[in-house]
Structure 1
Amino acid sequence: MNTSKVLNLLLAIVLVILCIKIAFDTNESPSPSDSPSILDVIATRTSVRAYQQQAVEEEKVEQLLRAAMAAPSAVNKQPWAFIVVREKETLEKLAATLPYAKMTAEAPLAIVVCGDLTKALEGEAADYWIQDASAATENLLLAAHGLGLGAVWTGLYPIPDRVESVQQILRLPQYIVPLNVIPIGYPAETPAIKDKWKPGNIHYEYWGED
């Protein structure tokens, strides 16, 4: 075999290897254009109240909690705590206690978002923890949607008897105040996406100016 034929053979082998590598890389790593943008996730998120009985993987639960803890907070106090609930009996107790959280009984998982008053600001800014924990909750809801899960925000704070009941069910110390319960699971329903864009809610510079 002459030198020219050897070089051509080697070149052909290299090209085959490159084609195989490109094919595998394409299959294993979807292009960014295949993933929804953050604006798409925000615009298409809906409240999901019916869930499949499929368990939510631990790695996805961690991703939800990481997203929640990435939220902004006043003076970076991060005055939050999260209770992950999987036990059926506990989920049923929460559902029985909270009138707007009945679906929690059928969810495979719930995360209770709480404020940690030991980490909260003092004085006139003491209630900023509510905004901080709410920002964490929205991050959690968006992450759930982005991961193919369904979730819904069910409120309980600041109604005293509901706060106290959840504190008792979850054995929370007095300085841990539950803000809401977020049932989570793979959706068993596909709620219609609502267009909430209302230009009339926008004012420029002063009230009433559009």
Structure 2
Amino acid sequence: MLDLLINRRSIRKYKDQKVEKDKLDKILKGALTSPSGRSIRPWELIVVDNKETLEKLATSRGGASKPLANAPLAIVVTANPELTDVWIEDASIISVVIQLMAQSLGLGSCWIQSRERFTQDNESVSEYVKSILNIPENYTVESMIAIGYPDEEKDLHETDLLLNKVHYNKY
């Protein structure tokens, strides 16, 4: 697991290669096991593999959402804030599990934050995405996870450099 975490990096460039259905199924099965507060599971996932739709989603946040344009696949994570006060945490957890599952299968991913972000026209990214994907009004879009075969290489995380972020017994 440590190797998986050290190797996982945000990938913004993908090969022109479709993600196999069995790999997508594994990502989804793993994601659906994600913990959530009181097991409410306020999230819903939307798998997007239509190129035109991915290109529309890629315009939502300017440069930050561009990885969606060349990704063969994205998973949009939505949640219903009416179901629980920890919906943000629950949606974030499932987003990370999606990324870790993708990494474990030799795929790259990039989290594109949607909640509390705005388009270039100052429209809520969540509302913009909801209109494209017909997401019910009572849901909020937390993230869009671009997924595909990496077409770039990145250095490993330098965990030793971050040890100053760890404190014992007091700050």
Is this a same-fold pair by TM over 0.5?
Answer: yes
Identity of aligned residues (%): 37
Highest CA radius of gyration, 1 or 2?
1
Q: Verify the 8 A CA contact 1:67 1:136 in the aligned structure 2.
A: no
In structure 1, list runs of 5 or more residues that go unmatched: 1-37
Among 158, 174, 178, the alignment partner of 2:137 is 174
**Letter aligned with residue 95 of structure 2:** T
**Letter aligned with residue 27 of structure 2:** L
Among 110, 114, 122, the alignment partner of 2:74 is 110
SS of 2:95's equivalent in the other structure is: helix
**Letter aligned with residue 132 of structure 1:** D
**Letter aligned with residue 156 of structure 1:** S
SS of 1:117's equivalent in the other structure is: coil
Among 105, 111, 122, the alignment partner of 1:147 is 105
Moved more, 148-157 or 196-205: 196-205
Indicate the residue corresponding to 2:121 in structure 1. none
What is the rounded CA distance, in whole Å, between the counterparts of 1:166 and 1:196 in structure 2? 35
SS of 1:152's equivalent in the other structure is: strand
What is the rounded CA distance, in whole Å, between the counterparts of 1:172 and 1:92 in structure 2? 18
Matches within 5 A, 1:85-104: 85-99=48-62, 100-104=64-68
Matches within 5 A, 1:165-204: 165-197=128-160, 198-204=162-168
Indicate the residue corresponding to 1:134 in structure 2. 92
**Letter aligned with residue 137 of structure 1:** S
| TM-score for both structures, normalised by structure 2 | 0.90
What is the rounded CA distance, in whole Å, between the counterparts of 2:126 and 2:18 in structure 1? 27
Q: Verify the 8 A CA contact 1:51 1:106 in the aligned structure 2.
A: yes
Q: Verify the 8 A CA contact 1:69 1:136 in the aligned structure 2.
A: yes
What is the rounded CA distance, in whole Å, between the counterparts of 2:159 and 2:93 in structure 1? 19
1:70 aligns with 2:28: no
Q: Verify the 8 A CA contact 2:67 2:110 in the aligned structure 1.
A: no
**Letter aligned with residue 140 of structure 1:** I
What is the rounded CA distance, in whole Å, between the counterparts of 1:39 and 1:66 in structure 2? 21
| TM-score for both structures, normalised by structure 1 | 0.74
Higher helix share: 1
Report the count of equivalent residues: 164
Matches within 5 A, 1:154-165: 154-159=112-117, 161-165=124-128
What is the rounded CA distance, in whole Å, between the counterparts of 2:45 and 2:21 in structure 1? 15
Cα deviation for residue 117 of structure 1 reads 3.5
The higher relative CO (CA closer than 8 Å, separation ≥ 6) is in 2
Cα deviation for residue 79 of structure 1 reads 1.0
Cα deviation for residue 97 of structure 1 reads 1.6
What is the rounded CA distance, in whole Å, between the counterparts of 1:136 and 1:165 in structure 2? 22
Indicate the residue corresponding to 1:21 in structure 2. none
In structure 2, list runs of 5 or more residues that go unmatched: 119-123
What is the rounded CA distance, in whole Å, between the counterparts of 1:202 and 1:109 in structure 2? 36
Q: Verify the 8 A CA contact 1:97 1:165 in the aligned structure 2.
A: yes
Q: Verify the 8 A CA contact 2:77 2:95 in the aligned structure 1.
A: yes
What is the rounded CA distance, in whole Å, between the counterparts of 1:151 and 1:72 in structure 2? 21
Q: Verify the 8 A CA contact 2:49 2:72 in the aligned structure 1.
A: yes
